[in-house]
Amino acid sequence: MSTDPVSLLRFQREATAASRLSHQGIVEVYDVGEDNGQHYIVMEVVRGTTLKELIHRRGALDKFEAVAIIKRLAQALQVAHANQVIHRDIKPQNVLIKDDGTVKLTDFGIALAGDAIQLTRHDSVLGSVHYMAPELSRGEGATKQSDIYALGVVFYELLTGEIPYRGENPVEIAMKHMRDPFPSVQKFNPSLPNSIVNVIAKATVKNRNYRYRNIDEFIEDLSDILDPSRADEPLWEFETPEDDQGTRVLGTLTEEETELEAKKKKRKKMMIIGGSVAAAVVVGLFAWFLFRPKPKVDIQVPKVTGMTVEEAKVALEQLGLNVNASVSYSYSDEYESGIVMATKPGEGATVAKGDQIKLTVSHGKMFEVGDYTGMTVDAVTQALKDVNVEIKTVTEPRKDMAPGIVISQSGLNPGDKIVPNQRRELTLTVSSKMQLLIPDVTGKSVAATKQELEALGIVTRTELLPQAGLSLAEIKELEYNVVKRTNPLAGSYYVQDDGSSVTLYYYEKISNPEPETKPEPEKPRYRKPR
């Protein structure tokens, strides 16, 4: 690179620009320099993995995780665009996932990836063809909207585990980005909300006049993408503007241009014309031979529904049909997981040899949510062990049922059908023991107090206080049939449980109370003097 002044200038410019970016979602550039003709960049060390490796290892991510990652990447890109830095090579290989889950964007147009096509037009460097915006393939300069297109492709890959287009060579892939409709993520996972489909569609629309104008618009649309109110919003559509280029008319040849040259030059000119015509004929014949339409061989699409993917591929490839990278997955109550549900074109359709046949394969049955009221939390957990449902509990004290019983459920209702591996939340309201504050009932009627406490769910017992040992004066001061004290004491908490109770202590009037009798003092004996 040091011998190429254009590459060197670009390296220095991009490295300097990247070093000015400061954001937790961007790999930090510490230094840029040159040593003995070798130019270098000192960057932050990130321990973790790339997003591409994560997708390769786990496949499609659930919508919550995918949206969280895209939001962080968009925020990092927002900082770059605010500093007039265009990334030019956004792809999962350039996204690092730290061990703690932090997402970081790296390689701002600096690194030349081995699997990337690098096209140069003036001051633009274009990245990997799988994420390349159509305008870049047409030779137009990279813009911030080109970055948004690439981010939309990454969003698609997070949700499907696949890139949108495949081909035998980079040119074929670039052509598909320019002319083939962008596939919908709902073909892979029908349960994804329309809001996600719309965001990806608007980010990857081929005409950038209809694309998000800037990353701020993209982030704003992401902010409520998982709001339930947007799940069934109308799918986004756009109209392609009519071609405003009129028919071009070539200028008319002038009389001077049609005159023959002097006799001296005539013979030479005719030789040149003759040679040019001959060369044109040769080139034309070669082009016709190379690009001539091959004779079409009609093939009827066979029935492959009910087969495994491998069985269907063998059956179709034996007829000369192509099925590579044309498999999408959907849930079905009819077909077991891994079984072909449908083809496009369908069974019996006439196609040509080499045509692509798309397979729709069953992901298995959707999971039907049950009615979990009356069950224990452990029983519900066992019932949901094979699906990605997070159970949250809210307790409600109930005196009419044992603790730990589900009273109601929310978030997922009985009969709802959900994708087994898609993360969902279920909130259970569960009964708990009654815990009541024992009021101060001293001086109140025992009968009324007992009735009041039992109405609150407190088991109440009564116990007489003994009067033996009290003086007549003390007995006269007693209040009968009123609460003197409780056990537990007032202000304590009563927990409703087997064996728990509150005891009310009181005096009851006795008809003939016997006062405490004290022994009379012994009289001194009189002795007669002698």
Strand, coil or helix: 425: strand
Interatomic CA distance for residues 143 and 123, integer angstroms: 11
Interatomic CA distance for residues 509 and 381, integer angstroms: 59
The one-letter amino acid code at 45 reads: V
Question: Which candidate in 89, 107, 147, 416 is catalytic?
Answer: 89
Active site residue 89: yes
Interatomic CA distance for residues 18 and 26, integer angstroms: 9
Interatomic CA distance for residues 218 and 212, integer angstroms: 6
* Torsion sign over Cα 451, 452, 458, 462: negative
- 417: which 2 tokens? 């059908």
The one-letter amino acid code at 27 reads: V
Residues 6+ apart with CB under 8 A from 139: 119, 121
Contact 472, 515 (CB under 8 A): yes
- Angle at which helices 63-82 and 144-160 pack, to 10 degrees? 170
Q: Which helix (H) or strand (E) holds 276?
A: helix 263-291
Q: How many helices (H) and strands (E) are present in the chain, helices listed first?
A: 14, 22
- Any idea how long the chain is? 530
Least Cα distance to 213 among 127, 146, 155 occurs for 146
Which residues are tagged catalytic? 89
